[in-house]
Structure 1
Amino acid sequence: MDIQESWQPILILGGEGGSVTILGKNIGNTEWVFKKRTNEVFSFKEMDNDQNIEDRGTRQIKKVIKVKPSIKQTMEGTNWEDAITMIEEFPLEQLSPKNVHPFFNKRIWDIVSKRSLSKYKLKRWAKACFPTITDEIFELYEALYASIHTVVLTGAGMSVESGIPDFRSKSGWWKNIDPLTVATVEALEENYDLFHEFYTVRLKTLGGCKPHEGHHILGKWEKKGLVHEIATQNVDGFHTMASSSQVDQLHGSIRTFRCHQCGSEASLDQFINKESCSLCNGKLRPNVVLFGEMLPEQAWNNALNHMQRANLVIVIGTSLKVYPVSQLPQMTNGKTIYINKEVNDLHSFFDLTIEGSAKETLSSVDQLIR
């Protein structure tokens, strides 16, 4: 049967009094026509104002649904606006979604999410529209909309799906290369060849990578006023590249360079070519924070200030093993949510933990964003 010639259920609603179905037929490309079919007639009747409260018992509601059997009815529409009218004629607060067509799930969710539904009923609609939504994803979505000031803290796990090695995971670089012997001031000053080779490899790896969907989602959420600050341990600059503007790089940037001795700026080519500083003949280095060095004061103070103001802190892809950044989530009185591929008992002090990748988790939440 040709799908363009068949009517498909766009939305099926069920209730104690029957069911409602919105049907759609694709008539070419993205054009659809719609019709409504009801198995029962749903009507409202105001309760009598002088009805005794004791007689109502637990039915102290302003309106009740009166259902009476009827012949199946149909109503046709030629565009999506007509379909919206058909859908909104019925009490979505009191009917349950039985089926949502995947082509229209976002549009239907946009209608439902604007209604004043209870958390339970809204979550039921969310799962009907997007079957991959979990309780944890829905809780993150609700926390995001409830928060007045949201801060995101990201670590190496945020950039894994961009192709950047996650140095502290079980499969990461650090199990083979001890950072304490390479990413240090001592290595820079006493074993520059090893230091230079290590960061040259990292720069070459970075050259073939770019921000993934999760980075772009955080940038979009900032524009919507849902995210107000990103503090990151990552030095790759992906958050800024993905249009986030409120970003503090707590461990510096691997994309800029300076002389270790006099602090004058240097270029990528100068570092890659292993040149010396043109002013003092000192060794060149990336503007990253090496082990044992102080964090950039302005970035740290700004991140700390945002943490203390936050209603919601979302920690993504960090093991929280590096001091002092590991202390930041404890500086908030707001709700804390932890997202990482590897979750253990050390993260039990968070209000909510979600085990999964950054990109998949943020993409799932973003489906619900109005």
Structure 2
Amino acid sequence: MILKYNGKNLSGGINVTKSWEEIVKVKAVDKESVLLGKQSDDGNWRYKMQEKLKVKADQEITIEKTGTNATFHQMTTRQTGIVNDWEKALAFLEASFLEAEPVSVHSSFRLKIWQIMSGQAKESLKLNWQQICFPDGPQLAILASWLRSSKHTVIITGPSTNQKKSTEEKILSVDAFNNKNKEFHNYYSKKIKELNRERYASILDDISVLEKEGHIQSIITEYTNGFHQDSGSKNVYELHGSLKKCHCHFCGRTVHQRVFLDNRNCPDCGGNVRPSVVLLSEKLPIETWKKAAIELRKADLVIVLDTSLQMNPSNKLLGYTNGKTVFLQTEKNESLPKNDLTIVGDVSNNIKLLTQIMSPNTIEV
């Protein structure tokens, strides 16, 4: 049977079987469009487009098999030919498709579809597409909307409050540096060598992407591992210093890390060299703190990752901002400071999703 509408063939000659899956579906007033996909045993996909057109009651459809004219009030279907790669499938996504209301997206194609729709869909429909492509992150949709409207966004990172304190905390002090220098040196030498072999977590790549794309302007961190810079971030304020740097404790000269690892003294004054981290009983670096405070004063949005900012003086940081504050926490924490939004869950995964929402074309899929 061949269906015709106003003399045009609507059937296309291809039957849809149950093995075809809906990749993306949209609807408009007069039609419903679906990009269909079928995966072969070797993992490759084939694609075709199906459109269901609404036929008005006062129009005629000719059923060629019988030659009888009949009036219907229904949806009738037409389909395209089959293509074997994604780039050709994109040709099916006409302008009318980009202007239609999204209905569903296949879970394996959410990022691919979002990469298209985030840049090409009508502005009024982008939030709908975001919600369809990221159905598990409704709170992230709120955060993403705030991030888009923010002119200056700051991220604060630090260890979780649930992270156990080091059993060797006594060696992290100025007293240990002065009076137990051998133990101090052995501890930090081991830590630095381990750090130099360690690979930073993927979440820092995502933060770096957000910075490069202009979505965040600076990072304030309580970590001392230097991994933010290793991942490519530029505007980083290290409140507790960095194990990647060393200096003379007495004259302040900056020296190469190797000078400390080799247990050599300062080439200028002969004093003992140490990592450039804040030891117990020492104050935070005042210039770094001042710069961090300036960043927070400029911020429209502050995003805090995993740390609860409960320890002094970090608990004073949010007092510098009048912007919105958002906490992303691995576990529920009832003692968080007052904030505008708290998102509980895998922080690394949530930042990855946020990066996909904000900068989809920087992610390989």
TM-score normalized by the length of structure 2: 0.77
Alignment of 1:199 onto 2:213: no
Does the 8 Å contact 1:347/1:353 carry over to 2?
A: no
Residue of structure 2 in register with 1:84 after alignment: 93
Q: Output one character per residue of 1:259-288: Cα deviation in whole Å (capped at 9) or x when no partner.
A: 111222333333223333344332221011
- Rounded Cα–Cα distance in structure 2 between residues aligned with 1:220 and 1:38: 40
- Rounded Cα–Cα distance in structure 1 between residues aligned with 2:142 and 2:191: 37
What is the one-letter code of the residue matched to 1:239?
Answer: H
Structure with larger Rg: 2
Identity of counterpart residues, as a percentage? 28
Residue of structure 1 in register with 2:246 after alignment: 257
Q: Output one character per residue of 1:189-223: Cα deviation in whole Å (capped at 9) or x when no partner.
A: 12223322332232133122122221111111112
Does the 8 Å contact 1:36/1:76 carry over to 2?
A: no
Alignment of 1:214 onto 2:217: no
Alignment of 1:104 onto 2:109: yes
Residue of structure 2 in register with 1:38 after alignment: 52
Structure 1 19/261 Cα, relative in aligned 2: closer, same or farther at 3 Å? same
What is the one-letter code of the residue matched to 1:37?
Answer: E
Q: Output one character per residue of 1:328-368: Cα deviation in whole Å (capped at 9) or x when no partner.
A: 12211111011222442221501111223432221121221
Residue of structure 2 in register with 1:116 after alignment: 123
Structure 2 residue matching 1:248: 3-state secondary structure: strand
Structure 2 residue matching 1:330: 3-state secondary structure: helix
Does the 8 Å contact 2:46/2:82 carry over to 1?
A: no
- Rounded Cα–Cα distance in structure 2 between residues aligned with 1:277 and 1:316: 37
Residue correspondences, number: 320
Structure 1 89/229 Cα, relative in aligned 2: closer, same or farther at 3 Å? closer
Residue 291 of structure 1, aligned match among 280, 283, 286: 280
Residue 126 of structure 1, aligned match among 100, 105, 130: 130
What is the one-letter code of the residue matched to 1:269?
Answer: R
Q: Output one character per residue of 1:152-200: Cα deviation in whole Å (capped at 9) or x when no partner.
A: 111135xxxxxxxxxx524x243x33x3x22222221122233223322
Residue 21 of structure 1, aligned match among 31, 34, 45: 34
Structure 1 280/91 Cα, relative in aligned 2: closer, same or farther at 3 Å? closer
What is the one-letter code of the residue matched to 1:117?
Answer: S
What is the one-letter code of the residue matched to 2:109?
Answer: F
Give how far 1:321 is off: 3.1
Residue of structure 1 in register with 2:138 after alignment: 135
Does the 8 Å contact 1:314/1:336 carry over to 2?
A: yes
Which ranges in structure 2 are unaligned for 5 or more consecutive residues? 1-18, 57-71, 360-365
Does the 8 Å contact 1:77/1:83 carry over to 2?
A: no
Which ranges in structure 1 are unaligned for 5 or more consecutive residues? 1-5, 43-66, 158-167
What is the one-letter code of the residue matched to 1:169?
Answer: N
Give how far 1:32 is off: 4.4
- Rounded Cα–Cα distance in structure 1 between residues aligned with 2:255 and 2:235: 26
Residue of structure 2 in register with 1:58 after alignment: none
- Rounded Cα–Cα distance in structure 2 between residues aligned with 1:305 and 1:90: 43
Residue of structure 1 in register with 2:312 after alignment: 323
Give how far 1:225 is off: 0.9
Does the 8 Å contact 1:257/1:265 carry over to 2?
A: yes
Does the 8 Å contact 1:144/1:312 carry over to 2?
A: yes
Residue of structure 1 in register with 2:21 after alignment: 8
Give how far 1:87 is off: 5.9
Residue 169 of structure 1, aligned match among 134, 146, 162: 162
